[in-house]
Amino acid sequence: MPSSKKFSFDSLYAKSTPKGKSGNPPIRGKYDFAVAYPDPNSLPIKELIESLTSGLEEEGRNLAIYPHPQGYEPLREFIATKVFNDRNIKTNHENIILGNGSGEHLYMIAEALLNPGDIVLTEEFVYSGTLAILRRFQAKIIPVKCDEQGMIPEELEKSINKFHQKNKPKFIYTIPTFQNPLGTVTSRKRRIKFLEISKKFNIPILEDDCYADLNFSKTSEPAIYSLDTTESVIYIGSFSKIIAPGMRLGYIIAQSDFINRINAIKSGGGVNEFAAIAIHRYSIKYLKEHIESTNKILTRKRDAMLAALGENFGSKAEWSKPNGGLYIWLKMNTKIDLSSLREESLKSEVGFQPGDLFSPNSDSGKNCARLCFGYNTPEEIYEGIKKLAIILEKNQIL
């Protein structure tokens, strides 16, 4: 009889494999300001069904073969046209690779560029998914001071100068439009400055533009990619924020040599063609209109959150007033530790992300919180913020 003792993989893992983590989804509150979910009621289910049906009727038989390694060509062509119209980015389908969400591209870019100990410069608070990937590749992540216009170019240059001689930074990662979590938008002038710095030190920029379409105003700042003349910018975008994260489709745009290297990393027989066909048919017919209506809904939600914060937090906190994206960044007195209240808050069904989760070195931001206004209704947002204020009052914070 073979022994029934459980096999252990402990001595077999690669040195770089991170410690175990439960694959269970996080516990969510009724008032879910923690994660960036879109409005569930405005997901275009009917239109997606129609798009998938017509797409499959037209070319469903092609699912019998593995997709193009860079993903469904008609969708890449659509993306090339979209980024030209919306972001003045001149590219073509050959310079685009589809991926399983833009998160997959962040991973592949990190894999392509990073050796352990390499430096990546980024905003002083930044998307925790990117941080997890950079840590996975053992990057040294250097936070650059920000103000209400995002990363400060002088501070960026100062940081580069500090490390340049001994360990030249590998790339600058920025979310210049409706930054996650700060909600800031970098001005055109600063974007140009970033490119000057990039050129001066020969360091590429990774521009994560996944919130650019969630713009509640009539003005916008140009994509850094569109201002670049040296092909030093890598651009990523996603359908997660404008259709649904469950579609798992994002894209990378870059110069041909870099695209070829990413192609060499990408494995798994291309990208889900089933989703790509649906997104392609849907986008041609409905996406523009859907983004417009999504932005109207999100504007009302943002306003509800701003009003609730004004009524319940008054002068005891500061918060951003973003003109787009999905987040409000709440900042309290530096002595206050909001991260310690996360569990208690969840018990009262209010989810939020404490600011230290977005800190590259986890050493600041405990007095801050990221509040996502995408998921709940304006009424629920109003109730939830009130509940959060009651929890803080109970803990003598408000």
Ligand X SMILES: Cc1ncc(COP(=O)(O)O)c(C=O)c1O
Q: Which residues bind ligand X (CB under 6 A)?
A: 36, 101-103, 127, 129, 175, 180, 208, 210, 238, 240, 245, 250
Integer-rounded Cα radius of gyration of the chain: 22
* Beta bridge partners of residue 368, listed in sequence order: 331
Q: Which residue is nearest to ligand X (CB)?
A: 101
The smaller minimum CB distance to ligand X, of residues 175 and 197, is found at 175
Cα dihedral 224, 230, 231, 233, rounded to 10, equals: -40
At closest approach, how far in Å is the CB of 129 from ligand X? 5
Nearer to ligand X, 123 or 383 (CB): 123
Nearer to ligand X, 51 or 238 (CB): 238
Instruction: Identify which of residues 29 and 103 has a Cβ nearer to ligand X in the complex.
Output: 103
Closest distance of CB 180 from ligand X, Å: 4
Least distance in Å: CB of 139 to ligand X? 16
As measured in angstroms, the least distance from the Cβ of 245 to ligand X is 5
Look at residue 63 and give its three-state secondary structure: helix
Q: Give the nearer residue to ligand X in terms of CB position, either 172 or 392.
A: 172
Query: CB of residue 380 vs ligand X: minimum separation in angstroms?
Result: 21
β-partners of residue 172 are: 121, 205
- 3-class state of residue 147 by DSSP: strand
Look-up: residue for tokens 């894999």?
Answer: 111
Q: How far is the CB of 318 from ligand X (least distance, A)?
A: 22
Asked, as a colleague might, if the bond just before 181 is cis with ω within 30 of 0, I would say yes
Please choose, from the candidates 200, 172, 175, 176, the residue with its C-alpha nearest in 3D space to the C-alpha of residue 187. 176
Least distance in Å: CB of 98 to ligand X? Answer: 11
Q: Which helix (H) or strand (E) holds 104?
A: helix 102-113
* Cβ neighbours for 364, distance < 8 A, ≥ 6 positions apart: 124, 125, 355, 356
Q: How far is the CB of 36 from ligand X (least distance, A)?
A: 5
Q: Closer to ligand X at the Cβ: 108 or 259?
A: 108
Q: Closer CB to ligand X, residue 290 or residue 387? A: 290
Report the residue number, 330 or 392, with the smaller CB distance to ligand X. Answer: 330
Contact 200, 344 (CB under 8 A): no
- Dihedral sign from CA coordinates of 294, 297, 299, 302: negative
- Residue of 18, 228, 227 whose CA lies nearest to 132: 18
Long-range CB contacts (< 8 A, 24+ apart) of 387-393?
387/31, 387/348, 387/349, 387/350, 388/31, 388/33, 388/312, 388/345, 388/350, 388/352, 389/312, 389/313, 390/348, 391/341, 391/344, 391/345, 391/348, 391/350, 392/341
